[in-house]
Structure 1
Amino acid sequence: MASNNPARGKEERLWGGRFDSGKVHECLEKINKSIDIDQRLHKQDIEASVAYANGLRDAGILTKDETELIISGLEQESTFELIESDEDIHTAVERRLRRLVGPAAGKLHTGRSRNDQVATDTKLWLSDACKPLADNLVHLIKRMAERAEQEVDVLMPGYTHLQKAQPVRWSQWILSHAWALDADRLRLTQVAERTMSQCPLGSGALAGITHNSMHSVADRDFVAEFTFWCALTGVHLSRLAEDLLLHCSIGFVQMGPGLSTGSSLMPHKSNPDGVELVRAKGATLTGMCTSMLALLKGLPSTYNKDLQLDKSILFQAYDDLNLALELTFAVIDTLRVNSKKCVDELEPSMLATDLAYYLVHKGVPFREAHHKVGEVVKLAEKKGIEISGVTLKELQEICVEFDENVQKVWSFESSVEQYQAYGGTSKASVTKQINAIKQI
């Protein structure tokens, strides 16, 4: 692999014959070089060059011996140092090949441009990168399902508008995030398939073998789509992180060992900084997606040097999201759930909807039932008591359909168990979700 601290030397540039002097202005030298970034394409540039050598042999450009010589040079394991004139990874690979096999290396670039090279290399890199991302997603999703199974009997408040709404299972909460990430997993599969749907290698600068060669050498839709995928997945991780931070603050959960930091001033603090930074990655990944789209906006046809900058966006998005996935897995894996605190935060007022359903079962239209229960809530607030403390007599003064069995409403367990439909909060429904995720 190319060194991060390469040795420097001088050699002819690939395009040097056009100019009287090989000298390049220092500013142009700095802005034009991309080797520090695109050296990550080293493996893919070798793979594409091997395939291209075989293609040139089939086309009669290379002899069998030349092909074998070139491929042996490309695949040779040895120290690979960068020199001053290596603008990019393609230049470096070709220079090294020429040093190893001699003049035959010059034939490899027949019909090929760095335009189609870099498009091909980037597609290959992205295809390779999708697998570890998918693996990390699957590991996280399955661990979330395992935690849901472990804590399936824990009840907690469900929130809307950051206000307590209805009782739910803790498992239902974590599975809601697991399903969002599973949708991301499926989208990533589609991104990978579309990325490899065409190979621009052999298109040269703008003529070649795809549906439209002018399009293929300049196409970076696959990079834009991947950065969007990273942004969306980052947003999903950010929302999970925000929930975790709120739950930490309330006391529902506690970070596992090694996943909090301290304060330089306050000795008692245990700060969930890692989760906060995962939340922040949702913002920076969105910015990278926007940067990629802005980079493409307004470009004229075929290749333009602007596209050199897509790799820094692509690699950074990949690195940031992969790290966020790994950190999130570590958090979920060791998260401590305080089941007592979860239950203690349940309030009878959260069963107001159940009280309305009670009237619905008595034949009262839901809108009327909703209004009647609103009056019950108002009465409880006026008296400074819980809704469950309103007497049967007072309930019947509001609606005659209330009777003695209304007391059965005041059960949090019964509340979550009533939702038996697929995806509901009953234990059976949650277990079906868990089993479905285990099959991923």
Structure 2
Amino acid sequence: MTGTPSRFLFGRGSWPEARRIAAVLRTETTGGALLLGAAVLALVWANSPWSSAYQTLSGLRVGPHALHLDLTLAQWAADGLLAIFFFVAGLELKREFVAGDLRDPRRAVMPVAAAVGGMAAPALIYVTVNATMAGGSLAGWAVPTATDIAFALAVLGVIATHLPAALRTFLLTLAVVDDLLAIVIIAVFYTSSLHVLWLLAALVPLGLFAVLVQRRVRTWWLLLPLAAMTWGLVHASGVHATVAGVLLGFMVPVLRRSPGPGPGLAEHFEHRWRPLSAGVAVPVFAFFAAGVPIAGALGATLRDPVTIGVVAGLVLGKCIGVLSATWLVRRITRSSLGDGVSWWDVLGLSLLAGIGFTVSLLIGELAFGAGTGQDAHARIGILAGSLIAALLATVVLRARNQHYRRVSAEEEADADADGVPDVYERD
């Protein structure tokens, strides 16, 4: 018997949303492969005889002194390119809750609750480890709370090609909400000095941007300068500049002004900017952030409470938080899992959520200071924890992939001439 979204968790969504999610996953899977390649290149270079050249490149300063924009290349990657990443994340989340399947609160509550649980549990585990061990540092409590969208979806695309769209949507939405909650944490807890006048000044170009996009203006030479001004003023205010990306994304309308075929403006921008985010912004940031020397006192690093707290938070905390929050939602709503969905699937996705990379590296730099010893320990913890989480998720999800491969073959054979599987038409 096929379940409906109101009665089942991970119930089958709409066919258009399933197709859209599949397209997003293809882009993010490619971006994840580029991200992994950039991180490996950085690690190899930073631990080679030519490591000084890598450090020189990362520390090269470019840009005008106005608004404190004479930044290193590593800072441009963290503050500038990641703003594109968060702009796309803002577009994605707004679209999901306005026009996607998650506009139904009964479908939205689960990934949101899982994201909250998946942030609270890792933070608690990290704090416990660092509060009870000598030499611990509580400043990095937020480092293991983020899930990397591109990395996690790339692993999912390789190990579980036939996972149902509802489960993939769950992971994608969880990661987006997770990253946006991380931006709130960055803005609230990692803003050392706030210049209110610069922040108020940023509202002017942001407001003009909002007026233009609400009028469905797509002209790049009008919108791009306003977006750049907003970013620059937010950066000068002391708030991390990536917050500007989220605010700009939230300004873009989702629905078309007049009914008819074709994407809305948010989907149009997402289609244009996602390849740049996944294919350029995130891999370049990973290249400058992942280059940490791991030779020498590696044993002492692995015994450091910061490293242990990050690894435990990503591997255990994420799994416990996401899994327990999902179970709690099921108990409160008295729902059942979707047709054919097993708690083994939820366990696999919970482990996969422990792949924290892009935003975790960013928070580590903000918490400890780029280039410090504790920042290096955090980065090693992020790399190790993400690798362990990916391997454990692979063990769980590969076993389920064969089951869903057979189900997918049956649904494709069941499709009409219009290409829409009958199961979606019946739903």
Shorter chain as denominator, the TM-score bin is under 0.3
Between Structure 1 and Structure 2, the one with more helix by share is 2
TM-score, with normalisation over the residues of structure 1? 0.26
Select the structure with the greater relative contact order (CA < 8 A; seq sep ≥ 6): 2
Q: TM-score, normalised by structure 2?
A: 0.26
User: Larger radius of gyration, structure 1 or 2?
Assistant: 1
